[in-house]
Structure 1
């Protein structure tokens, strides 16, 4: 791992030179495409837009098309939001933090490490700040139950290292692991859901196959998600189609053999996308993902936003406001501070997973496929 961290530092410096945007500013996805493909173990520059705010519909001809035939009928009006959703100031077109963690240790050793105390403190902040964890698969699918007035957050852990999870002799999560900390915070903060998504490499938390089979099943039975992160954590952007597919299918096959199920989501190592994205998205019966996660520097836009791209979902590195890698502006502490100060930009749930509620001014942003579920106020 040390070499990966050195690579990460170099790429982050390049990202800053390319021009990162400040929190709250918007940037087109295409502007950062080259930097996105470079990737980094810790981050990829913000390549997706933050949630759009109040963009007016584009101007164009009205009444009739050039042929003189009547234009298409306008969409039906969106129904009014439920009183409880209005009272909660629901905004389900707001931004969602997808937090990215690597090693969890008592004492951090490398730049991407977080201590157990740092993890505990950040999760406690989320719990007290009204955040509710959901899995990556739930986020991608756009169906998740978050109480009215609360905010979804996706906790993702890359590389399946021992500090993430392990079982003791009694079959309980080992102390000081990420899972143990998540469950502790949930006990101390009723309503905070103990869940996260773990993106697996071949190490599988340092377990052999017998231990891993039991461990992975424990995670699934207790509401955690398992995701694919390749066998050896390579930079997929420089690899052939055959090599890309071998890395992903090899990991998927092992997960399926150990658990009897396939994964739903995938996280790119280093955030690096292959020359052709389709190579990673699906392969016959070997794997077929519903969402792909980058390594990044921005919260994700809402899964109901017309600009949401489930094949390139941004994440935010978990870190304090430190100078390194410009974390003063782009890591988790900075972004959580920003969303606290700008609550109108944050995803706030209406409490009903069957509806999508938002202020009427944002109506032009709802994706067509979700319009039937939309409610405004």
Structure 2
């Protein structure tokens, strides 16, 4: 019995003196790597191709003009854009060349003029009206998060029924707010002082909400007599300078890295084939001529294009050129 107790005591003593077992080290996490973008030639990347800049007015059940669509037509057009690989960017992103898009996709700019209630309104509960343009875009974002449906809204003073919630809501949801003059003025009918007053008062109204104004759209598509005042000017101690001036319905716009005139960016009017050269017409044309449209290479640090187009690249972008 004594021998057994001594043996047990010795085992306990040895256990007490044994070094504690080191805790197991956590296994190292497997490194994560982002796969490189595909070969530009393999996806026919062309970042000098055309970009559709689409122009909308009313989204209404009862279209009254050639720039209007019903909510169903607008939803259908968004579905088509998504299906055909388009991804929205704002007008400011477009003109600055800030196009960070997945490989093989195409930029599209969605623009809305006149800041009407059909574009943005709120229900009695404070929700965005589901059949307004902004409501449909929000609905589409929920269904297709990879589409990123941002838009540029060209607003007049007292926009969207002068609802104070409107401009902050647009900004919070990634949309751009652009200038469209204070009173939707025909700028060609005004002298230089009043042209600048219209634009300064408009910019002041927008920036008072915390937004930044980077682009403008000409009301009625009409320039002031001095075209330069559409881009830069000042009035009553406040200056304005727009990165782009948007025209009314025309054709697809050049790539921002090529022969683009920021003082006159063409837009395509919305429509369903009811008027010549509307959005349906030009989307069909781009689908039939895919080599003509802008196709992203997936790498925002370079500009990829077929070597034969080298002369079309603007000199300021030469350090990012990636011809193939």
Bin for the TM-score computed over the shorter chain: 0.7 to 0.9
- In 2, are the aligned partners of 1:236 and 1:273 still within 8 Å (CA)? yes
Taking only aligned residues, the RMSD between alpha carbons, in angstroms, comes to: 1.6
Query: Does 1:120 pair with 2:79?
Result: no
| TM-score for both structures, normalised by structure 1 | 0.73
SS at match of 2:128: coil
Equivalents in 2 of 1:151, 1:120: separation in Å? 19
| TM-score for both structures, normalised by structure 2 | 0.84
Per-residue deviation, 1:169: 4.4
Query: Does 1:187 pair with 2:142?
Result: yes
- In 2, are the aligned partners of 1:230 and 1:248 still within 8 Å (CA)? yes
- In 2, are the aligned partners of 1:143 and 1:354 still within 8 Å (CA)? no
Aligned length: 286
- 5 Å-filtered alignment, 1:152-171, equals 152-171=107-126
Per-residue deviation, 1:265: 0.3
SS at match of 1:260: coil
Render the CA deviation track for 1:221-260: whole Å, top value 9, x for unaligned.
1100000000111221232101111111111111122x13
Any unmatched runs of 5+ in structure 1?
1-80
Equivalents in 1 of 2:144, 2:205: separation in Å? 36
Aligned partner of 2:177 in structure 1 is 226
Equivalents in 1 of 2:115, 2:198: separation in Å? 16
Any unmatched runs of 5+ in structure 2?
1-35
Per-residue deviation, 1:112: 2.8
Aligned partner of 1:303 in structure 2 is 256
Find the partner of 1:281 among 231, 242, 263. 231
Equivalents in 1 of 2:306, 2:65: separation in Å? 43
- In 1, are the aligned partners of 2:160 and 2:166 still within 8 Å (CA)? no
Query: Does 1:317 pair with 2:277?
Result: no
Aligned partner of 1:86 in structure 2 is 41
SS at match of 2:177: strand
Aligned partner of 2:7 in structure 1 is none
Moved over 6 A (4+): none
Per-residue deviation, 1:189: 2.8
Find the partner of 2:313 among 366, 369, 377. 366
Equivalents in 1 of 2:281, 2:211: separation in Å? 37
Per-residue deviation, 1:290: 1.0
Equivalents in 1 of 2:125, 2:321: separation in Å? 47
Equivalents in 1 of 2:47, 2:67: separation in Å? 31
Aligned partner of 1:355 in structure 2 is 302
Equivalents in 2 of 1:314, 1:293: separation in Å? 6
